[in-house]
Every structure is written in C-alpha cells, then in structure tokens.
A and B are shown apart, each in its own frame.
Chain A
Amino acid sequence: MACLVAGCSSSAPKKLHARHPIRTPPQQNDALKSVQSTGIVIHWQEEAPNGTVRRVMELHAATGQWNVQTLSGILRSGSGILYRDDRPKVRFKAPLVEARRSLGVVIAKGGVVLQSIDPAGATVTAERVRWDARKNLLVAMGNVHFRYQPPGAPKPVAFGAAPQMTFDTELDAYHIP
C-alpha cells in the first residue's frame, strides 16, 4: 500500500518545493512527479494563520494517479474526510475523486455521498460534488437529495431534493440553486 503525505510540512507546499528542487532527468522526473498505485492515502494539510499545520482533507482511494509536484490527481473508489479549521466536518464517498491542490478544489463524481460529522445527522447524495476548501462551499449537482436526521431522532426531520444545492462544509447552511 502506498502512503502519500501531501503538504505535511509546517511550511506552505510552494516553499517546500523551493527548498528541495527536483533536479532529475525527464524520465526520472516524470516517475517522481506522478505516482500510480493501488491503496492510496492522501493527507492534505495547510499552514494555519497562526503558523501551525491544520488538516484540510483526508482521502483514501483504491486506485489512482497522484502528481506529487502539483499535489493533484484523479483517484478511484475514494472516501475520506473534509476538515474545517482542523476539525472533521464531513465524511464523503465517491467512485471518482479529482483533487487540485493549487485551486483548493476537490471534485467527486459518479454518485457521491456526504455525511456530516459536526454537527452530525445530515446526508447529501448527488451525481457530482465540488468542494471549494477556500470558500468553504460544497456544490452538489445532479439529482441532489438532502436528509437530516439528528442522532437519536426516530425519523428524518428535514429532507429536500433539487437539481443543484450548495452547502457550507458543515452541511448546515444551504441554498438552492
């Protein structure tokens, strides 16, 4: 099983690459830049304003391709956790996950399931979900279904359906479309 830790240094990723420039022939460089593997774990972290390192996303995938230089890639049979201010907020699962670190964007496709962790109880299913970590926005598109059943509640207290819904990372605030 391959384990990749992306941006886990206390400094920003760009600085990390600046300190350790890769000077290898193209073939080796290509081999270094891109990793294709099965059983992938990505820990996406960033430097917080107070200088500490905080978690942004944790992603587990069965197979995929990950570019260690751009810290982006396409992963299959993915599942993971989205964080906000270093606290886990949403658990997600999708057949295809595309992450672009430079944009701070994760796109999950092919039947996505989101489950809120804090506060717990909200579930969103959609054909496609785009998470913008910087804007703290989750845009769910295509046959979106929302359900909220707080822990201990015998049945859902809230539910909705729309072609497109937008949520904050906590799945707490929403708007349609």
Chain B
Amino acid sequence: MANKVSVAVAFALLCLGGTLAQTQAGRAARRAGHVLHKRQNQASKSASFTYGDVTLSGFSRITGRLGVVAEAVGPGTTVDMMDQNHKATGRLQAKQITVYWTQGSTQAQRIEAVGSVRYSGVQPTPGGEQKVRGEGSKAIFVRAENKITLFGPATFYAEQPVPDTHTVQTVSGTSNEVIYDATKQTLTFNGNVNATITMPDTLEGPAHIAGAESITLELAERPYTFNVKLGSVEFHPKQSQPKPK
C-alpha cells in the first residue's frame, strides 16, 4: 500500500515537474520570440531607404520595386521630402505610407499616408522661413501640383515672418479637409472650419472664424488675404496712429 502511494506521489510529482518544465519552456520560448520580434523591430527601425528626393525611415517593414513604388508600415513611419527647386523640405509621418514614382524619374510623384498622419514643412520666404504643420487621418501629396491634402478631422498651423515689421503672421485651425498648395502659396480649409488668424501688424488681436464652409488664405500676400465662404468672422483692425505734429 505504502509502495502504491509512493509511486502515485512520485508520478504526481513527475507530472507536476513536467507541467512546470513545459510552462517554463513555453515562457522561455515566448520570451525568446518576444525578444526576437523586438530585435527585428528595432533592427528595421534603424533602416532607411532613399530614392531620389524621398527618404523613408522609422518603418517596421517596407516592400517595394525600385523607382516604381515603396510601401512602408509601422507606427513611426516617416517620409522626408526635399524640393530642390523651392529649397523646401517636408516630413510626413503615419502608420502607413506609400510612395509612387514614375519610371525614369527620381522625383516621387505621389505620396499617400494613412493613420495618425502628421505633416510638417519649411520653405524659405522673404524675411525668414514659412513653417507649416498639420495632422489628419489621411494625407495625399501630389508632386505635379506641389500640393498636400490632409483629410480630417484635420488640424493645421502655419506661420511666416513679415519682413517690414519684423512680426510673425500665423493661422491655425481645424476642418474636415486642409489643402496646402506650396507653389501657389495658398492654404484652404474646407468643411466645418474653425480658425484663428493673427496679423500683429494689421490686427489688434487674433481674428476668429467659426463654422465656415471654407477659407482660402493667400500666404504670399503681406499681410495675408483670406476669403471666407459662409460662417462668422470676428476681427479688430489696428487703428492708424495720428502722425505727430
């Protein structure tokens, strides 16, 4: 009887030991798999790929055909663009970015970004630099038009210096869609627009635009000129100072 009990206990201990060993082995395997996955991710994040005027980095995976298409995925996926003609730089960050080239050209023709999209750009302008940044759920950049469209809900911010008065004009806002045309130097907000415009040289305080259907800002104008379609606008022009006698 005692023998039977000891055999049963030994068997139970053996089973328990086996189960523990299996659990430990499973944990070790999972840990090893996790470490491998982490290493691969880190390794990919250190990778970069440049074709012509576009550099892709921060991705966890990229697939492509040389000079035709590149599709990069991963939460930190970044595309840096360089426009030699305008000496401008731009950066797009998103969960997934696809770049298209036309065969024989080193300039990216179209870039599509999807998921937590962030855009920023810098362009030389009289008196300094024009800086723009925006966020949206999707973005499309078209080289031929030198235009980027952010789909929303989108937020946008732009600033540029006013050389004569050494002040800075700014515009910030939200809308369903934002279109930044770098060639024409226009910024268009479409759908449910709420925006704030500051022009310290001409306005006492910020101009507020609420619930507008669309706004188009001519950024090349000093000061900005803007066309508002429907909605309310509130602004206070600066009173001209009487000339001292």
The answer to whether A175 and B62 touch across the interface, beta carbons within 8 angstroms, is yes
The CB with the most chain A CB atoms within 10 A, among B40, B46, B49, B64, is that of B49
Closest to B57 in A: A160
Bound complex: CA of A32 vs CA of B50, how far in Å?
Answer: 51
Give the size range of A's interface with the partner: 10 to 19
The answer to whether B64 and A173 touch across the interface, beta carbons within 8 angstroms, is yes
Bound complex: CA of A133 vs CA of B66, how far in Å?
Answer: 21
Q: For residues 31 through 49 of chain B, which have their beta carbon under 8 Å from a beta carbon of chain A?
A: 40, 43-44, 46-49
How far does the Cβ of B54 sit from chain A's closest Cβ, in whole Å? 10
The answer to whether A157 and B52 touch across the interface, beta carbons within 8 angstroms, is yes
Report if A22 contacts B (CB, 8 A).
Answer: no
Mark contacts of B102-143 with chain A using CB atoms, 8 A cut-off: 1 yes-contact digit, 0 otherwise: 000010000000000000000000000000000000000000
Give the secondary structure class of A's interface.
Answer: strand
The number of A-B residue pairs with CB atoms under 8 Å apart is 60
The answer to whether A175 and B44 touch across the interface, beta carbons within 8 angstroms, is no
Closest to A156 in B: B50
Report if A148 contacts B (CB, 8 A).
Answer: yes
Which of B43, B47, B61 is in CB contact (< 8 Å) with A160? Answer: B47
A176: chain B residues at CB < 8 Å are 44, 47, 49, 59, 61-62
A163: chain B residues at CB < 8 Å are 43-44, 46-47
B47: chain A residues at CB < 8 Å are 160-163, 165, 176-177
The answer to whether B64 and A175 touch across the interface, beta carbons within 8 angstroms, is yes
Q: For residues 54 through 84 of chain B, which have their beta carbon under 8 Å from a beta carbon of chain A?
A: 59, 61-67
How far does the Cβ of B166 sit from chain A's closest Cβ, in whole Å? 40
The CB with the most chain A CB atoms within 10 A, among B47, B65, B106, is that of B47
The answer to whether B43 and A177 touch across the interface, beta carbons within 8 angstroms, is yes
Report if A118 contacts B (CB, 8 A).
Answer: no
B62: chain A residues at CB < 8 Å are 174-176
How far does the Cβ of A136 sit from chain B's closest Cβ, in whole Å? 14
Report if B51 contacts A (CB, 8 A).
Answer: yes
Bound complex: CA of A176 vs CA of B63, how far in Å?
Answer: 7
Bound complex: CA of A173 vs CA of B46, how far in Å?
Answer: 20
How far does the Cβ of A15 sit from chain B's closest Cβ, in whole Å? 38
The answer to whether A177 and B48 touch across the interface, beta carbons within 8 angstroms, is no
The answer to whether A162 and B46 touch across the interface, beta carbons within 8 angstroms, is yes
The answer to whether A177 and B64 touch across the interface, beta carbons within 8 angstroms, is no
A residues in contact (CB < 8 Å) with B: 122, 146, 148, 157-165, 171-177
For this complex, 11 residue pairs linking A to B, each with C-beta atoms less than 8 Å apart, are: A146-B49, A157-B51, A159-B50, A161-B48, A173-B66, A174-B65, A176-B44, A176-B49, A176-B61, A177-B40, A177-B61
B residues in contact (CB < 8 Å) with A: 40, 43-44, 46-52, 59, 61-67, 106
